[in-house]
Amino acid sequence: MPSWTEELIGTKIPANGGRFTANGVSLVREGNILRAQNILSSSQSQTSQTFAYKWKRRDTFEGAVSENMRRWLIEKYGDVWEAPWLKDYGDHPILLDAGCGGGMSGLELWGPVMPRLRYVGVDISSAIDVARDRFRERGLSGLFIQSDLQQIPLPENSVDIIFSEGALHHTD
């Protein structure tokens, strides 16, 4: 869990297995992931199961697929790590990756500057575990939250950049 987690969340984070409330959301810390409790509507349950399955099949999106995704994201969004506006957010801006899945888009687009970002990945499914693992494997730090995007346990105006690739149309 990053050292800046408690400052961002605005409350003390318990040890693994501990329960707490942050910004009106009941959470449990499990595997160094903050997991919201009772988060799924009936339509979100299917979304969660589908994407948990998809992102656990890492062989379907790593290697050449990731390289193609990187090129496509750069073509779509530009070289964000060289964008002049990025400096407006200081040395360590907070990036919220809303609907991060297995972290693929975030890692591919923001990879060159990821070590200086305070990355917050949020996903409703257990794909958040895959994102956490992929960051660890690369020696990168991040805060990972399993939560509905409409009930993220962060204070208002607490992030600098919101990135969401292919997720918003899956929300209620």
Q: Where are the domains of the chain?
A: 40-170
* pLDDT at residue 169, as a whole number: 42
Mean pLDDT by 10 residues, the chain (172 residues): 96 97 96 85 59 56 77 91 93 97 94 96 93 96 94 96 73 50
What percent of the chain is helix, strand and coil (3-state, nearest 5)?
A: 45, 20, 35
Triad 81, 161, 89: Cα angle to 5°: 70
Name, in order, each residue with C-beta under 8 angstroms of 143's C-beta and a sequence gap of 6 or more. 1, 2, 4, 5, 8, 34, 118, 119, 120, 121
Contact between residue 122 and residue 149 where contact means Cβ atoms under 8 Å apart: yes
* pTM as predicted: 0.85
Contact between residue 107 and residue 138 where contact means Cβ atoms under 8 Å apart: yes
Taking CA atoms, 26 is separated from 4, 20, 23, 171, in Å, by 20, 6, 9, 20
* pLDDT at residue 141, as a whole number: 96
* pLDDT at residue 42, as a whole number: 59
* pLDDT at residue 39, as a whole number: 64
* pLDDT at residue 66, as a whole number: 78
* pLDDT at residue 44, as a whole number: 60
Determine the Cα–Cα distance for residues 148 and 122; give it in Å rounded to an integer.
Answer: 8
Q: Which residues of 33-52 are buried (b: 16+ CB within 10 A; e: fewer)?
A: bbbbeebbeeebeebbeebb
Architecture of domain 40-170: 3-Layer(aba) Sandwich (3.40)
Determine the Cα–Cα distance for residues 75 and 73; give it in Å rounded to an integer.
Answer: 5
Q: Which two tokens stand for residue 17?
A: 């297995």
Name, in order, each residue with C-beta under 8 angstroms of 166's C-beta and a sequence gap of 6 or more. 99, 105
